[in-house]
Structure 1
């Protein structure tokens, strides 16, 4: 397996990040993703980078800030690679690293199977599809998501810009998740029913759907939850229960496995996230960012159908 991990790391460093000999590469990992971190370290050295490998204690939840020393290190590199159990994608530390000019990728919750299976893809093809979808989302004033099991959610997208997670991270300050493949936006507001039937960050695949009533962008009522979903938001205030993201998956190699890192990239899925969106054009600051996935949605942008029961119509 280590040989396959190194091969996937080499692809990520060269095709996704465009690593050049002599660049300063920081790899931040934890005990859950240690072997993937080691693969990046080994391949980075082989490719001529100046590499530092740092292992930090696992974070408690997605969106928690890493230790201050990690935040400092990230500001003083050319490239950062962060395979960890919990995500630091939506953190001040990651945003400031990019503002300082570092480019990088996060791989929250990555497993060795997901890593070797989804990293070797056609990044140029994925880039084209995801950019096209992001442009359509940017051009829309509103979105509507419906599903056969009850989702009927309206979102106000006015004057917001969508982003494309394409996996191509070659310019200073650029950033992506890996595996890549997502067009996403920070909505102004949302109203209606969201029926989550795929997976939820920090929970995994759902056995039974969870129904959420959303009003003026806020979570108001929850049905079908046995407590795990609500506990994610306990003590975190109203910002954590605010709709922070509409995202659409574009990666044909990704599938639903119960790991939101891969699940949210599966082509034709849609996810709604609650919590922080400061990193991609929103103004909601929260301690968490919880993605909630719909398996076979139909998505309208203004009055144009873009996804039909999980099939992208582009």
Structure 2
């Protein structure tokens, strides 16, 4: 247990540059409370004012948390969200950031991930790779992805390229910990083709066999296999099936673990998500946000092959 607390202290020191006078909020749920406790104890050991709020583990990634959680996030200097489902792309997170809270989201983190893998990466390397790909997304107009004979294309024209390094030193900064990705919000009606998922799907884990996603005018219309059926169920029949995100992994220490928090950061992978994207520059609100990861694709941004 001591090693977990020491690594949690490093997250506060290295990722947040936490000051002694700053308040810390631990947001957790019934499923990940035992892991969140290490961060709670780490904050106390560092001498900070630490508070704890816990909710049921019944929420879907992208779904808004209870209003009491949203209010508590706004009141803290630093908030760590250690929950089964992701709070990254919620209004609660966005509004807390607007109130200057620095926020790290750690959906699905395991004890193994607290010891090794993405969390051990060289921050300088992650920042350098992330800046490169975020720059390509910032200036790019179109994306083409090829994998196992299937192709999907979409527009990113006019959308921001967003770096996620897991380093939050300035007021209002937020993102995943561990991190290492560059991402953007594709134009919601622009995607057409098929995307092969052979890594993992958020909340479902590693795929047993490749899942082929069929996308027409930005909407997911079909997904192969049993995991594909489960994905469609998670997304529902409404706006949850609209393309929300395209991301590129930039963390060379990350591994495919079955937990998308780490999987989508693996260097050499890309991911597409469906559902809400309004918190990072899109126009869709869906109450859900589910990422789908593929390994070793060929990727073009405009006419440049970047992977």
TM-score (norm 2): 0.95
Q: CA deviation at 1:140?
A: 0.7
Q: Which residue of 1 aligns with 2:219?
A: 218
Alignment partners' CA distance in 2, 1:125 and 1:28? 29
In structure 2, list runs of 5 or more residues that go unmatched: none
2:103: which partner in 1? 104
Question: Is 2:235–2:290's contact at 8 Å kept on the other side of the alignment?
Answer: no
Change (3 A) 1:222 1:30: closer
Q: Write the distance in 1 (CA, Å) between the matches of 2:236 and 2:185.
A: 23
Cα deviation, residue 120, structure 1: 3.0
- In the TM superposition, 1:39-50 aligns within 5 A as 39-50=38-49
Q: Establish whether residue 29 from structure 1 lines up as the match of residue 31 from structure 2.
A: no
DSSP-derived class of the 2:24 partner: strand
Q: Which SS does the other structure have where 2:192 is aligned?
A: strand
Instruction: Trace 1:198-209 onto structure 2 (pairs within 5 A).
Output: 198-209=199-210
Question: Partners in 2 of 1:38 and 1:187 — Cα distance?
Answer: 37
Deviation at 1:21, TM superposition (A): 0.4
Are the equivalent residues in 2 in contact too, given 1:11–1:119 (CA < 8 A)? Answer: no
Superposed displacement of residue 58, structure 1: 1.2
Contact 2:5 2:39 in 1 (8 A): yes
Match for residue 191 of structure 1? 192
> Unaligned 5+ residue runs, structure 1?
308-314
Please tell me whether the aligned partners of residues 59 and 66 of structure 1 are also in contact (alpha carbons under 8 angstroms). Answer: no
1:1-314 to 2 correspondence within 5 Å? Answer: 2-117=1-116, 118-147=118-147, 149-188=148-187, 189-225=190-226, 227-235=229-237, 237=238, 239-307=239-307
Secondary structure, aligned partner of 1:219: strand
CA–CA distance in 2 between the matches of 1:223 and 1:201?
16
| C-alpha contact 1:33 1:85 (8 A) present in aligned 2 | yes
Inter-partner Cα distance in structure 2 for 1:195 and 1:119: 27
**CA apart distance, 1:282:** 0.7
Contact 1:8 1:119 in 2 (8 A): no
Partners of 1:221 and 1:56 in 2: how far apart?
33
RMSD of aligned alpha carbons: 1.3
- How far is 1:99 from its partner? 0.8
In 1, Cα distance between the equivalents of 2:171 and 2:62? Answer: 23
Q: CA deviation at 1:225?
A: 3.9
For 2:295 and 2:278, how far apart are their aligned partners in 1? Answer: 26
TM-score normalised over the length of structure 1: 0.93
CA contact (8 A) 1:161 1:185 kept: yes
Q: Is the 8 A contact 1:150 1:194 kept in 2?
A: no
Q: For the residues of structure 1 that align with 2:224 and 2:31, how far apart are their CA atoms?
A: 33
**TM superposition shift of 1:291:** 0.5
1:279 to partner: Cα distance: 1.4
Equivalences, count: 303
Specify the SS of the correspondent of 2:92.
Answer: helix
Q: CA deviation at 1:121?
A: 2.7
Please say if residues 129 and 250 of structure 2, whose CA atoms lie closer than 8 Å, have aligned partners that are also in contact. yes
Is the contact made by 2:120 and 2:253 (CA closer than 8 Å) also made in structure 1?
A: no
Is contact 1:62-1:86 (8 Å) kept?
Answer: yes
